[in-house]
Amino acid sequence: MKTRSECPACAAHGLEMNRTTVFYDGSCPLCQAEAGLYRNRDSNEKQRLVDVSVLDADLPMKLDPISATTRFHVMSHVDHFLSGAAAFADVWNQIPVWRLAARIAAWPEKDIRRN
């Protein structure tokens, strides 16, 4: 399995090995506010935020513009493409004060990494 540092497609999309890419709809006031919370709480710079409402948004091939604006998606730093509740849990797990919420949102899944 290739790592992101070895993957030209990942490099072309600015995906970094130790960062999660968060795809959010900047045209949605609620989504924009939540992305702002993530940005403000991300003291370790573990997240890269991509506004999918921008015409030239840098989307991976797995994510079309319509899906990107109708559901929350992340590309985790361990090469997992997640959407919906699993995506929220992945992002929340990276924010110390939200880790409990991440574990609750991920239950009964066991794949949320512990930091």
pLDDT surpasses 80 at 89: yes
Would 62 be classed as within a structural domain?
yes
pLDDT in tens, 45-58: 888 999 999 988 88
Residue 61's CATH number? 3.40.30
pLDDT surpasses 80 at 103: yes
What stretch of H or E contains 73?
Answer: strand 73-75
pLDDT surpasses 70 at 72: yes
Would 22 be classed as within a structural domain?
yes
The vertex-51 CA angle with 46 and 55, nearest 5°, equals: 145
The vertex-110 CA angle with 13 and 36, nearest 5°, equals: 45
33 lies in which domain range? 4-106
Structural domain count of the chain: 1
Cβ atoms of residues 68 and 27 within 8 Å: no
Would 114 be classed as within a structural domain?
no
| CA–CA separation, 15 and 78 (whole Å) | 11
Would 111 be classed as within a structural domain?
no
- The pLDDT value recorded for residue 62 is 84
